[in-house]
Amino acid sequence: MACVINVNLPQQSYEIAIAPGTLNTLGEYLGKLNLGKKALIVSNPTIFSLYGEQVLTSLKSSGFQVSTCILPDGESYKNLDSIKKIYDIALENRLERSSTMVALGGGVIGDMTGFAAATWLRGINFVQVPTTLLAMVDSSIGGKTGVNHPQGKNLIGAFYQPQFVLIDPEVLQTLPVREFRAGMAEVIKYGIIWDAEFFAQMEASPHLDALANINPELLETILKLSCQAKADVVGQDEKEAGIRAILNYGHTIGHAVESLTGYTQVIHGEGVGIGMVAAGQIATNLGMWTEGATARQNTVIVKAGLSTQLPSGLDIEAIIDALQIDKKVKAGKVRFILPTEIGAVTITDQVPKDIIRKVLQEMM
């Protein structure tokens, strides 16, 4: 397995390389792309202790002057204070407009590094080296970068594309199973919103709940088709003026649940899993989707080891209030992405609060 997927955008196109065992060749990739002479690796302590040395060595042996910024792990540190730390290290090491920030980690590291790269000297080079399944198939692609506001997820940010994404699937071997399952939520999402055949392949697999239970061919399919789906959608609508919003399937209620549980009790992919279950039920209640399709979706979600229930102790009215802060709110109305069949969704702001309330109550 080794393939390249192109993300084609009007102003800047770039490649996603999916290539096992190539983490220690990152310097060679970047050398070919002509990305300045200085690189700043941003990572967290866990990932840096596992993979930092080989990335550092690879960059140095390709002639880069390398500095590092190790940020504490977790969504609760995805804030402006962490961005300030990246700025300080960029300043100390005199990063220039032609220098490169390298995100080595999961979605949190990728989003923060991208935002720092977007805003340091009004924009320097940026490379993604995702180390979680979720970052590989979703957050490292498409240029959404940013941090959380104390009162809402990803409210601060920028659209800023990487110059290159390197996916080395071998690093998934050290990924905690909970993180693997969270990533599977985004993978399943692509099946529901974009690719019915891909969904059927996941349906046919006896297990989806751990890397060890998935055969290499299916893993290859998962990475390839997910990245391709993301690249296709983003290529049509980089800044979410229209169709790109379908990638937010499961995210409307998902974000609210994450936010209300402080971003730790429910992690992003788990929130998306719960959000997809809710969106499916809302669509069924509105007569847009069938009970049968809802059941098929939820079976795959359960097979991936994900919850279909709200975490205990959550107040339903608080969830409904939190929806109002979502970036997707337009003219005061919450927009939902709802499935119409396996492989296709629609966007609507016509969801009565009573239906949201009813569906959430059933998920308690």
We find the least distance from the C-beta atom of residue 121 to a copy of itself, in angstroms, to be: 5
- 277 known ligand binder: no
The answer to whether 68 contacts a copy of itself (rule: CB under 8 A) is: no
**What amino acid occupies position 298?**
N
Q: Are 101 and 113 within 8 A, CB to CB?
A: yes
**Binding site annotation covers 73?**
yes
> Binding to a copy of itself by residue 212, rule CB under 8 A?
no
Binding flag, residue 146, a copy of itself (CB under 8 A): yes
Q: In angstroms, what is the minimal distance from the CB of 163 to a copy of itself? A: 15
Quick count: other Cβ atoms within 10 Å of Cβ 106? 30
Q: CB of residue 36 vs a copy of itself: minimum separation in angstroms?
A: 8
- From CA 303, how far away is CA 210, in angstroms rounded? 10
CA-to-CA distance for 215 and 169, rounded, in angstroms? 13
Residue in 97, 156, 94, 93 with CA at minimum distance from that of residue 121? 97
**Smallest gap, in angstroms, from Cβ of residue 324 to a copy of itself?**
7
CA atoms of 187 and 184, how far apart (whole Å): 5
333 is in an annotated binding site: no
Return the closest-CA partner of residue 96 out of 25, 8, 157, 36: 36
Based on the shown chain and the rule CB under 8 A, indicate whether residue 173 belongs to the binding site for a copy of itself: no
- Residue type for position 287: G
Binding a copy of itself (rule: CB under 8 A), the pick from 219, 325, 347, 355 is 325
DSSP assignment string, 167-204: E-GGGGGGS-HHHHHHHHHHHHHHHHHT-HHHHHHHHH
- Does 186 show up as a binding residue in the annotation? yes
Under 8 Å between Cβ of 263 and 311: no
Tell whether 111 is in a known binding site. yes
User: Which residues are catalytic, by number?
Assistant: 122, 144, 186, 230, 240, 244, 248, 251, 255, 268
Binding mask 80-99 for a copy of itself (x = CB under 8 A): x---x--x---x--x-xxx-
Residue 121 binds a copy of itself, judged by CB under 8 A: yes
Q: Is the separation of the CB atoms in 166 and 22 below 8 Å?
A: yes
State the binding string over 223-242 for a copy of itself (x if CB under 8 A, else -). Answer: ----------------x---
Q: Are 44 and 73 in contact (CB under 8 A)?
A: yes
Q: Which stretches of the chain bind a copy of itself, using CB under 8 A?
A: 10-11, 37, 80, 84, 87, 91, 94, 96-98, 115, 118-123, 144, 146, 149, 151-152, 154-159, 239, 324-325, 327, 329-332
Residues placed in the known binding site for NAD(+): 73-78, 107-111, 131-132, 144, 153
